[in-house]
Each structure stands twice: as C-alpha cells, then as structure tokens.
Amino acid sequence: MAIAHYQSEFERLGSLLPWQGSPQWQEWRQSGWARFAAQGFPTTRHEEWKYTSLAALEKLALSCAPVAAEAPALTWDSLQARAVLPQARYRAVFVDGHFAPQLSRLDGLPAGIAVRPLSTLSAQDSIGLQAALEAVRTRTPFAALNAAFMAEGAWITAAAEASLDDPLLILYVTTRGGQAQHVVNAYDLERGGRVAVAEQYLGLSDEPYFVNQVTGVQLAPGAQLHHVKLQQEGERAYHIGALQASQQGGSRFESHSFALSGAFGRNDMETALLEPGAAVVMNGLYRVAGREFQDFHTCIRHESPDCTSDEYFKGVLDGSGRAVFNGKIVVAQDAQHTASRQSNHNLLLSDQAEVDTKPQLEIFADDVKCSHGATVGQLDEDQWFYLRSRGLEPDHARTLLIDAFSLDVLSSIGHAGLRAAMDHLMRGQGHV
Amino acid sequence: MSDSTSTLEAIISQEYQHGFETSVEADALPRGLSEETVRMISAKKNEPEFLLEWRLAAFRRWLDMKPPEWASVHHPPIDYQDIIYYSAPKSQKDGPKSLDEVDPELLKTYEKLGIPLHERAILAGVAVDAVFDSVSVATTFKDKLAEKGIIFCSFSEAVQEHPELVRQYLGSVVPVQDNFYAALNSAVFSDGSFVYIPPGVRCPMELSTYFRINAKNTGQFERTLIIADRDSYVSYLEGCTAPMRDENQLHAAVVELVALENAQIKYSTVQNWYPGDKEGRGGIYNFVTKRGDCRGAHSKISWTQVETGSAITWKYPSVILRGDHSVGEFYSVALTNHRQQADTGTKMIHMGKNTRSTVISKGISAGYGQQAYRGLVRIARAAQNARNYTQCDSLLLGDRCAAHTFPYIEVKNASAKVEHEASTSRIGEDQLFFCRQRGLSMEDAVSMIVNGFCKEVFKELPMEFAVEAQKLLGVSLEGSVG
C-alpha cells in the first residue's frame, strides 16, 4: 500500500520537483526511487529495525508535494520564543518544507561562508551538492526516498580557514498535517573551516505529518563542525533522519542530538574517521512520554589509525514511551591507536516505559582502547529521600533529579554559544 | 613489544596436543537423515513410543527450518545428508558391568588425555559418566549416589528406567522448535547424561562427564537433562577433547537444566575440541543450545565455561529467571586462535520478581581468531526489582584478530537496574613493563597478565577444573600459570 502511494506521488510530482532539466538530478531521483521501491518499508524482521515498527507510518497517505498552497501567516516574532537561538544573527527558516525568506536573515555572513537554500540554486549550481549527499543517500531506505523527493534544505559551505562562530539557526517549522517533507542539509567545510549550527525541527501541528531529512557532512583536514540537532515535533509527527559524515585528518565533528518530542523519531547517524587525527563527539538525549517513540542508531567507523571518538547518549522514559539505542563502533584492521568510548544511560520513570539498548563493538585491530557501557535504572532512592527530607515537594524533587540526570549531556557541548542556548531551552522547558 | 609478540606467536602457534584417533569398531548407521533414520535410532535404543513421536515431531519441524545466519561466523554450508547420525562402539554391545570390562582401547584414550578414569574417579572423588562417541561406556560411584536417591546415568538408561521423569522434563526448557540445531538434536540425539537430584539432597560430589568425538564423520548429538528438585544442590562438570582430523565435524548438543524451588545448579564446561589446523582446515563445529530454567522461587543456575577449542563455536548458555528471587550467572572465558571463530554469550530472561543475574565474559583473540560476544538481557514487564550486571572484556593478541560485542538490553520495568560494561584492549605495555622491571621473564609476564584477565571466571570453576582450564587456555607457559 505504502509503496504504491509513494509510487503514485513520485509519478505525480515528477515534473514539479526542482532541477528537472538536469540529467544528473533525474538520474539521482530515479536511482533513489528504485532503491526505496526495491527495499520497501523495513519491517521488524530487519535487524536494524528489530524494535522499530513503521506500520503506522506506512498506513498514512501523505502528500509529498513541494508546492505550498498558501503561505502560512507566521512572523519571526511569533517563532522567536520557541527558537533555540532566539537572538541568532544568522537564520534560515523553512515553513512546511519551503524556504521563508521573510523569516530568515542570511546577510552579512563572514567571508568564505555561504548558506544557500536549495530553492535558490540553479540546476547547474546545485550539482556540487551531490558530492556532499552521495554517501548518505544509500544509508537507509528513507534516505533513498529522500533522494527521490528532495526539494528543499540548506547547503552550508566554508572556504579554507573561513569561520562561522556565531551559530547559525536552521529552523524547520511544520504548521500543517498530512504532508511528507523531504529536506536535506549539507555541510561542506574546506581545510580549517569552522561552522557552528543548530538545526531545529519544530512542529506546530497536532495532525500527523512526516519529516524525512538527511544530512551530509564533509570535513576537510582541520575543519570543525559544531552541530546541534533538536527535534520538537508535533505530538503525532514522524521524524526520520539520516546523517553521514566523512572526516579527514585532524577534523573535528561535534554532534549533539536532542529528541524531545514527536510521536515517532528515528535517527541513523554515521561518521567515518578516514585519516589520522580525526575526532568525533556524538552525544544525545532522548525523552519520551505518553506513547512516544525515539530510536537512535549510530555508527562510528574508525578507518584510520590515531582517531578518537566519544559517544554519550542519555534517555529519560516516562508514560508508555519507548526508546531504542543502537550504538555501533567499528575499528577497521590496522586502525591502531584508536581510542573510543561509548556510553548509554537510561532513566525509566514508569512501569509502562520500555528501552531496548545495544551498544555494539566490532574491532579488527589490536592496539586499541575501546570501551562501552550501558545502564538502565530509575531515580535513586537515597537522593530522593535526601531531597524530600529537606522539604522539597515530590514534583520538585523529581524534576531536580531528572534534570540532574539529563542535563549533563549539555556540559559536553564544546561551543559556548550553543551550550548556553541549549541550556536555556532545556531549563526553561522543565522536565519530561 | 616485539619480544612479547614473538613469544605470543610461539604460544599461539602450538599444535593441538590431543590429536590422535582410537580405532574401535563402530556400529554405525549409513549416512543421511530421513524419517527412517530417526525411527532406526529410536529402535536401536529401544525407546518408548512417546519419545519416538517426540523425535518425529522435532524432525518434521526441522525440515521447515533454516540454519541461522545472524551469527558472525563463516563456514561452508553443511550437508546434513552427509553425516552419520548414529555410531556406537561395537564392544559396548554386551554392556560393561565395571571398568574392567570396558574396552582397554577406550581406557587408553582417556589415559592419553591425562585423565585416567579410575584414578580420577578414586582420587578426585568424581563420578564420571564418560560419553565415548554416542554411548556411555562407564559410570562410577553410582551406588554412592544411589544411596542418596540421586539418579546419574546415561540418557538412554534414564529413558528405560525413569521414563516418567524424561517425559515430564525433556524439551520443557528447550522446546523442539527452539532453533535449527536444537530441532536437529531433538530428532536424532543419540545419548547424553541425565541427572535427577531429589528434594533436600545436596549432591556429595562433583558430577562429571567427558565427551569425546571419535569415530570419523559422526555428528554428535548429545542430550543432557539435569533436574534439581526442591532444596537440592548439584555441581556438574563437562569436559571435552577430541582427536585431530581433517574433516569438519558437526556437534549440536542440547543441555537443559531445571531448578525447582530453592535448588541450585552449577554447570561448568571446559571445551577443547579440535580447532582445526593453522590454516583453519578441519576442526569441530560446535553449535550448542544450553538453557537453564529457574522454575522455582529462590533457585539459582550458574554457567561457567572455558572455551578454547572448536573451529566454530555457536553457544549461548541462558537462564530463564522465572521464579521470584531466582539468580542466574554466566562466567565465560573464550579463546580464539589461528582461524577459530566463536560467537558466544548468554541470555538472561528476567520474569520473576527480585531476580538477579551476573554476566562476566572474557574473550581472548589471537592470530586470525574471530570472536563475538552476543548477549541478551531482557527484563519483562512483571519482573519487579530485577538486577543485572554485565561485563564483557576482550583481549587482543595480534593485529589480524577481531573482537565484537553485541549486547541486547531490553527493559520493560522501571524498577530494573541493568548495567553493561565492555572494554577491548591489548596487553598493556605498562603492565608488561611493570612485570619485566620486577624481573619476570616475558613469558611469565604475559601468562600472568592473561591469567589475571581471566581470574574472575577461573575462580568460579570447581578446583578439579581450574588447573586444567588454565592449561587449556593455550597461553599457559610451561606450567608457570597459576
């Protein structure tokens, strides 16, 4: 059913998608579609989707149309309070999958830094985007689906030694249900380039909708990307993301993911450390309550000697929420002197909640130091007693303990501006 | 480090020391597997009707099943029609009444392995139910056990003499359709061991079985069933060595443990089957299903294993923690060397309240060895206050070996506490330096460090096994370990 629906959407929209004149893009879309059609919706029989059922998403007949019927009446003033970077000097805002120039501010970017919405690119200019998305488009069935339908997103480039230190806000707002958005983010950082960015997905609709996004990251030697991804989707929303990074010598990728709301979330994140000295920090926090579901599948590939990786994910589960964490670290043969750490800690607050975690190591080299850990537990009784004995109300004590558990993910955000922004957002919001 | 590397290489390139073959005339079925084969095995063993039916049901299920492909092991497809499914030593036909009647050839085999049966039985106080190929050839200390009401005999004997117990418990822990190899075993198992400990009895000695694979091309399909009734205790040892040969051999055993209220079962294994030569030729395929069921409250099942042999090991001793306050333990040392592959781990299924489990897994990988820890900890919705601690460490010796970890953790109860830790590293330069600086030779230093790495598991082994285990680890240096 679902495949047929997307098939008809693909046929219907063919001529409406951007860059029709370009044979490269036609080929790109066709091969994406063919790949998705061949694989179909993964079922729980697939090892990578063992705990993740897509049955509900499959039943939805969502429109993949890139054309907005009418521009929603949104102003920056109305969005600002919800934005993770309310004071951002640079921002690219997308509403229902469309770039909204009146809400964005991209003038005066530092020299060598470019932030280009896809809809502003000519077919010719857009070809360079393919290199950044090449690796990610085959990563998951949904990345392939994205390749078939992609119409909008942001392409961020940094020339050699160019630096964007004032963090950029990329805000995707969804105001209406019934749609499937296929958006992309691409980051191309040349030698020594530095970029700090927050990608925020904000749902203002309580109707079902589907955000299917991919992110491609290419870091040249010495480049640094500080990346925060924030999911605050609507209560019946589906969010599926795929990220693929490739890192050259001495580059640094700091990725912090926060899945705070949405009916269903799934992220497949992978980085390849290709040359000595590359380093990655991959951290995250997921929170589920009600009947929410969040799933993180991460993979860090140590392809070269002398690289380091640090992965730290935390989860807070309440209500009948469910979460899945699958963290894989692969150390290739001869990737000696690899240092890798991974941990996943989960806080279960309800008997109806469920967590399935699998920290996974695959190691083919001997001179390595790799460790991983995973825990599942509940609020500490001693701590609880301590707070209560000092007169704190149960709600307050609980909030304090949950915050203490979850907020330490923030302290590892290396970029001061992003850290302060996330800190402000999380504290303002209170606990789960 | 080059010094230690060469030392390590010398150790890990040691040839298998227990490679020889005893030529005993065997009474074997022709190759191949069909319903007829199953009927013939059952007939040869003079089994009651219910068991034949049970075997046939398993066989029919097996026909529809596919060999599992998820494990990270690689081997050519197995031709299940090219295996002899039953082989009994001929000389056993009349049945030995005592050790004197046992074929001297067989006894010599044990002697070559350094485990002379009578000596071991007398000196160590161990009752040995020796499985030579598929039929038990000698049992000892039976009277002493019988006094206490303990049943310790071969599986075939149990089928004849205690069919009601066999019927009640066989397949109740590992159902016939559990997995491909368990179904195969259920259809064609030839023999094995049976233990029943009556209520309130503490088994006065360690029960022990030596498994050997001997006749050529004989798949071994052992079936072990241990039942510990209320308030009882038993410690069971299983040790294996096999002669050298060039053709791959399939071994698909099933072990079922049942612990009723307040009962404790301790099951220890030292496995040193032929791992194949340096290039990975030959060697045993060891596809084993082992599972314990803590059926009663306050029961406890503990698995300890030292796995140094086999070309391929596929083995996940598990515990179902059904009874409230029950305890499951898994201690494992696995060594893979040359081209050996091991995919091993455990499952702890928490169902009862206040259940606890501990998993300690130590993997050592050398040469081109491939090793995977694959574990599952599942806390069911009703398992209040369940507790699990898992630690799996890997030690890598050489830059062409690999170590993988696949721990699955599924938690459905908020009161659960589950911890998992894992690390992978090679022998620390600083540790070696420390030992060398204090005058230890490189060999001693390496053996000490490796031994220390495995200590947590070895201390769980019964005394009788601990020494042998350290030897079998293959990294023992001129007996200096320990």
One digit per residue, pLDDT tens: chain A, 432 residues? 578 888 888 888 877 888 888 899 999 999 999 999 998 899 888 888 989 999 899 888 888 876 565 566 788 998 998 999 999 999 999 999 889 999 999 999 999 999 999 999 988 889 999 999 999 999 999 999 999 999 899 999 999 999 999 999 999 999 988 899 999 999 999 999 999 999 999 999 999 999 999 999 999 999 999 999 999 999 999 999 999 999 999 999 999 999 999 999 999 999 999 999 999 999 999 999 999 999 999 999 999 999 999 999 999 999 999 999 999 999 998 899 999 999 999 999 998 999 999 988 899 888 888 888 899 988 888 999 999 999 999 999 998 999 999 888 999 999 999 999 999 998 866 443
**Number of residues that make up chain B:** 482
pLDDT score at B119: 43
**Of the candidates B399, B405, B424, which has its C-beta nearest A334's C-beta?**
B399
For chain A, how long is the longest CA-to-CA vector? 71
Distance (Å) of CA B420 to CA A63, A298, A338, B393: 43, 18, 21, 11
pLDDT score at B428: 76
Q: Is A363 on the interface with B (CB under 8 A)?
A: yes
Contact B418 A371 (CB under 8 A): no
CA A335, CA A307: separation in Å to the nearest integer? 8
Q: Is A350 on the interface with B (CB under 8 A)?
A: yes
Which parts of chain B register pLDDT below 50? Answer: 1-2, 90-97, 116-127, 132-138, 211-218, 243-244, 246, 474-482
Q: Is residue B410 part of a domain?
A: yes
Write down the residue that tokens 């964007």 correspond to. A164
Q: Is residue B480 part of a domain?
A: no
**Of the candidates A334, A371, A376, which has its C-beta nearest B422's C-beta?**
A371
Where is B188: in which H helix or E strand?
helix B180-188
With contact defined as beta carbons under 8 Å apart, do B192 and B224 qualify? yes
**Of the candidates B406, B408, B418, which has its C-beta nearest A376's C-beta?**
B418
Closest chain A residue to B384, measured at CA: A351
Q: How far apart are the first and last CA of chain B?
A: 23
Enumerate residues 6+ apart whose C-beta is below 8 A from B471. Answer: B479, B481
Q: Is the pTM of this model over 0.90?
A: no
**Of the candidates A333, A363, A367, which has its C-beta nearest B404's C-beta?**
A363
Contact A366 B398 (CB under 8 A): yes
Q: Is A66 on the interface with B (CB under 8 A)?
A: no
Q: Is A346 on the interface with B (CB under 8 A)?
A: yes
Contact B424 A370 (CB under 8 A): yes
Contact B413 A348 (CB under 8 A): yes
Write down the residue that tokens 């940094």 correspond to. A158
Q: Is residue B419 part of a domain?
A: yes
pLDDT score at A71: 60
**Of the candidates A333, A348, A362, which has its C-beta nearest B404's C-beta?**
A362
**Of the candidates B379, B402, B419, which has its C-beta nearest A363's C-beta?**
B402
Where is A4: in which H helix or E strand?
helix A2-13
**Residue B382 lies in domain:** 2-472
With contact defined as beta carbons under 8 Å apart, do B395 and B366 qualify? no
* Chain A residues within 8 A of B414 when measuring between CB atoms: 348-351, 353, 378
Q: Looking at CA atoms only, how far is residue B399 from chain A in angstroms?
A: 5
Please report, to the nearest 10 degrees, the dihedral formed by the alpha carbons of residues B289, B292, B293, B298 taken in order: -170
Q: Is residue B131 part of a domain?
A: yes
**Number of domain units in chain B:** 1
| Residue ranges of A 319-338 with Cβ closer than 8 A to chain B | 333-334, 336
Please state at what angle helix A381-389 crosses helix A394-406, rounded to 10 degrees. 130
Q: Is residue B477 part of a domain?
A: no
Contact A376 B407 (CB under 8 A): no
Contact B411 A376 (CB under 8 A): yes
With contact defined as beta carbons under 8 Å apart, do A268 and A140 qualify? yes
Write down the residue that tokens 């998608």 correspond to. A17
* Chain A residues within 8 A of B396 when measuring between CB atoms: 363, 365-366, 368
pLDDT score at B216: 42
What is the 3-state secondary structure of chain B? CHHHHHHHHHHHCCCCCCCCCCCCCEEECCECCCHHHHHHHHHHCCCCHHHHHHHHHHHHHHHCCCCCCCCCCCCCCCCHHHCECCEEEHHHCCCCCCHHHCCHHHHHHHHHCCCCHHHHHHHHCCEECEEECCEEEECCCHHHHHHCCCEEEEHHHHHHHCHHHHHHHCCCCCCCCCCHHHHHHHHHCCEEEEEEECCCCECCCCEEEEEECCCCCECECEEEEEEECCCCEEEEEEEEECCCCCCCEEECCEEEEEECCCCEEEEEEEEECCCCCCCCCCCEEEEEEEEEEECCCCCEEEEEEEECCCCEEEECCEEEECCCCCEEEEEEEEEECCCCEEEECCEEEECCCCCEEEEEEEEEEECCCEEEEEEEEEECCCCCCCEEEEEEEEEEECCCCEEEEEEEEEECCCCCEEEEEEEEEECCHHHHHHHHHCCCCHHHHHHHHHHHHHHHHHCCCCHHHHHHHHHHCCCCCCCCCC
Contact A351 B381 (CB under 8 A): yes
Q: How many CB pairs under 8 A join A and B?
A: 115
